C-alpha cells in the first residue's frame, strides 16, 4: 500500500485544448513549492496530479501546496492496484486512520470509476465497500445525507482511497495569464490586489515608490517584507524601488497644492508603464478601491488612466474595506501592512486634495514640469531586488 498526495485541478480542468498546458504549468509550480522537501515522483493520472513522497513529509507539503494557485483540493491517498481485495484492505486502513484521527460515527462511500473496464459499477461498488466497513467497525453506521466522513474511491489506472479533501486557493497557475506590475505600497490594499491577480494566473513583479530620506529605510524594509509574504504564493518577485522625492519636490514647488496627490499618482503610473514596457509586462495592478480615499473617485481614476496606455487592473475596486482586511489576514500580510511606517504619499499630503480632477486642468498643471526628464531620472536611479 503506497501513500501519495493527490491534487485536484478546478477551473483548469475545463480548459479543453489548453488543458495540457495548464497542467504542466501547475506541475512546474508544485515542483517549485516542494523541491526542498524532497519527493520521488510527480505524475498525472486521468485528471489529477499525484505526488509520490515519504508520508512523514505530507503535512509540510500540504502546507506549501495550499499556496499554489490552480489547485482546488489536496488529499492524502492510499494507492493500490485495481484489485477488489487490495481496494478492500485500503478502504479498511483509510477508515481506521480516520477513526484514530477523529471521532466519526457515520460514513458514506463515494466511488468514481474513471476506468469503465473495471467490472463493478460505482454505486454497486460503494454499497459493497460500505458493507465491508460496517462489518469491520461495529461503531460505524451509514449516513448518505450528512456523514461524518466520506470514503472516496477513485478507480483509474490504479485505485486511490482517501477520506480528506483539503482546500487550496483555486484560481489558475501563475504565468497562464500574462504578467502584471504591481504598484506595491506599504498599505493593506496593494498586497491583497497582487494576491488576487496572481490567483488569476498573472505573474507578478512589483514597483515601490519612496521619498528617501524623507521616508525611512525601515519603511522600505516593510514593503520588502510584504513582497516576501506575497512570494510564498507567487514564487520569486522582481521588485523595483524608485525614489520620487525629486518629482514630489518639483510638483510641490510648481503646481497647485491640491493637485499633489493626483499629479504624483500620474507619475507613478508613467514610471510603472516605462518599467513594464522594458520587461514585456502587459498590465499594471493597483490596490485602489472606489471611494475609499479622496483620490479614489471615478474622476480620479480616469485622470490617472489617461497618463498611460497600459491597462490598469484594480481587483479591489468593488470591495469593502472589511472584506479586503479579511483577505489580508488570510494571506498573512495584514500584520506587516499595519506596522506604522510612513509612505511617500504622505510626505507632501495636501490639506484639501482635489477629488474631481479634470484632465484639462491636470494637463495644464503638468506643462510647467519636465515630465520626460523626471521619469527618466527616477528610473535611472531605481534599485532592483529579487525577493524570494
Report the binding-site residues for ATP. Answer: 183-184, 208-209, 265, 287, 296
- The set of cell numbers assigned to 340 is 506604522
We find the least distance from the C-beta atom of residue 228 to Mg ion, in angstroms, to be: 19
For residue 226, the partner it binds in ligand ATP, Mg ion, none, with Cβ less than 5 to 8 A by kind, is: none
Judge whether 108 and 144 are in contact, CB under 8 Å. Answer: yes
Burial class (CB in 10 A: 0-12, 13-18, 19+), 118: middle
183 binds, among ligand ATP, Mg ion, none (CB under 5 to 8 A by kind): ligand ATP
CB of 208 to ligand ATP, least distance (A): 5
Q: Which does 286 bind (CB under 5 to 8 A by kind): Mg ion, ligand ATP, none?
A: ligand ATP
| Buried residues in 13-22 as b, exposed as e (16+ CB within 10 A) | eeeeeeeeeb
Closest CA to 103 of 70, 133, 143, 148: 148
What is the nearest approach in angstroms of Mg ion to the Cβ of residue 224? 16
Q: Which is nearer to Mg ion, 30 or 324 (CB)?
A: 324
In the complex with ligand ATP, the residue whose CB is nearer, 116 or 352, is: 352
Provide the terminal-to-terminal Cα distance of the chain, rounded to the nearest Å. 37
| CA–CA distances in Å: residue 385 to residues 6, 86, 153, 165, 242 | 35, 53, 47, 38, 12
Would you give the binding string for Mg ion spanning residues 137-176, x where CB under 5 A is met?
Answer: ----------------------------------------
Minimum CB distance to Mg ion smaller for 23 or for 189: 189
Smallest gap from Cβ 8 to ligand ATP, in A, equals: 33
Q: Tell me whether residue 216 or residue 292 sits nearer to ligand ATP (CB atom).
A: 292
Taking the least distance from each CB to ligand ATP, the nearer of 170 and 187 is: 187
What per-residue string of b and e applies to 253-277 under the rule 16 or more CB within 10 Å gives b? eebeeebbbbbbbbbbbbbbbbbbe
Give the residues lining the site for ligand ATP (CB under 6 A).
183-185, 187-190, 208-209, 268, 286-288, 292-293, 295-296, 343-345
- Counting residues that bind Mg ion (by CB under 5 A) gives 2
Among the listed residues 149, 185, 243, 336, the single contact to Mg ion using CB under 5 A: 185
Is 94 strand, coil or helix? Answer: helix
Spatial strand order in the sheet of 283-285: 312-313, 283-285, 179-183, 203-210, 237-243, 383-387
Residue 211's binding partner among ligand ATP, Mg ion, none (Cβ under 5 to 8 angstroms by kind) is none
Cβ-count burial 128-143 (b if 16+ within 10 Å, e if not): bbbebbeeeeeebeee
Q: Give the nearest distance from C-beta 282 to Mg ion in angstroms.
A: 24
Contact partner, 288, from Mg ion, ligand ATP, none, Cβ < 5-8 Å per class? ligand ATP
- Least separation in angstroms between residue 384's CB and ligand ATP is 15
DSSP H or E stretch at residue 41 = strand 41-45
CA dist., res. 340 & res. 135, Å (int): 62
Report the C-alpha gap between 164 and 156 in whole angstroms: 19
Give the nearest distance from C-beta 187 to Mg ion in angstroms.
3
Shortest distance (Å) from residue 175 CB to ligand ATP: 22
Nearer to ligand ATP, 63 or 305 (CB): 305
- The grid cell for 265 is 499618482
Closer residue to ligand ATP, CB minimum distance, 65 or 308: 308
Is residue 353 a contact residue for Mg ion (CB under 5 A)?
A: no
209 binds, among Mg ion, ligand ATP, none (CB under 5 to 8 A by kind): ligand ATP
DSSP 207: E
Is the peptide bond prior to 250 cis by the omega test (within 30 degrees of 0)?
Answer: no
130 binds, among Mg ion, ligand ATP, none (CB under 5 to 8 A by kind): none
Choosing from 175, 187, 256, 350, the residue that interacts with Mg ion (CB under 5 A) is 187
* Of the candidates 256, 250, 248, 363, the residue with the CA atom closest to the CA atom of residue 306: 363
Residues that bind Mg ion (CB under 5 A): 185, 187
Amino acid at each position: 500500500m503506497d501513500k501519495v498526495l493527490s491534487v485536484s485541478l478546478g477551473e483548469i480542468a475545463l480548459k479543453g485544448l489548453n488543458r495540457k498546458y495548464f497542467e504542466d504549468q501547475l506541475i512546474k509550480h508544485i515542483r517549485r513549492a516542494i523541491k526542498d522537501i524532497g519527493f520521488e515522483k510527480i505524475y498525472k493520472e486521468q485528471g489529477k496530479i499525484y505526488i509520490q513522497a515519504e508520508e512523514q513529509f505530507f503535512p509540510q507539503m500540504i502546507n506549501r501546496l495550499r499556496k499554489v494557485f490552480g489547485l482546488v483540493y489536496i488529499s492524502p491517498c492510499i494507492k493500490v492496484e485495481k484489485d477488489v481485495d487490495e481496494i478492500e484492505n485500503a478502504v479498511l486502513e483509510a477508515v481506521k486512520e480516520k477513526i484514530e484521527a477523529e471521532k466519526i460515527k457515520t460514513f458514506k462511500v463515494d466511488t468514481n470509476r474513471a476506468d469503465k473496464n473495471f467490472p463493478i459499477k460505482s454505486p454497486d461498488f460503494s454499497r459493497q465497500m460500505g458493507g465491508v466497513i460496517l462489518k469491520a467497525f461495529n461503531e460505524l453506521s451509514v449516513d448518505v445525507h450528512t456523514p461524518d466522513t466520506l470514503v472516496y474511491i477513485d478507480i483509474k489506472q490504479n485505485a486511490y482511497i482517501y477520506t480528506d479533501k483539503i482546500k487550496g486557493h483555486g484560481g489558475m497557475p501563475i504565468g497562464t495569464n500574462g504578467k502584471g506590475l504591481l504598484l506595491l505600497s506599504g498599505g493593506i490594499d496593494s498586497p491583497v490586489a497582487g494576491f488576487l491577480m496572481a490567483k488569476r494566473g498573472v505573474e507578478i513583479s512589483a514597483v515601490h515608490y519612496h521619498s528617501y530620506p524623507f521616508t525611512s529605510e525601515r519603511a522600505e524594509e516593510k514593503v520588502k517584507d510584504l513582497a516576501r509574504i506575497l512570494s510564498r504564493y507567487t514564487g520569486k518577485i522582481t521588485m523595483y524601488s524608485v525614489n520620487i522625492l525629486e518629482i514630489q519636490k518639483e510638483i510641490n514647488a510648481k503646481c497647485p497644492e491640491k493637485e499633489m496627490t493626483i499629479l504624483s499618482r500620474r507619475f507613478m503610473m508613467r514610471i510603472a508603464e516605462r518599467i513594464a514596457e522594458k520587461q514585456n509586462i502587459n498590465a499594471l495592478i493597483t490596490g485602489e478601491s472606489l471611494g475609499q480615499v479622496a483620490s479614489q473617485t471615478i474622476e480620479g481614476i480616469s485622470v490617472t488612466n489617461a497618463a498611460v496606455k497600459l491597462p490598469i487592473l484594480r481587483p479591489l475596486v468593488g470591495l469593502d474595506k472589511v472584506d479586503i482586511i479579511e483577505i489580508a489576514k488570510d494571506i498573512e500580510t495584514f500584520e506587516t501592512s499595519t506596522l506604522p511606517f510612513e509612505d511617500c504619499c504622505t510626505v507632501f499630503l495636501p490639506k484639501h486634495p482635489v477629488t474631481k480632477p479634470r484632465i484639462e486642468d491636470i494637463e495644464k498643471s503638468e506643462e510647467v514640469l519636465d515630465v520626460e526628464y523626471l521619469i527618466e531620472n527616477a528610473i535611472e536611479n531605481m534599485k532592483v531586488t529579487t525577493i524570494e
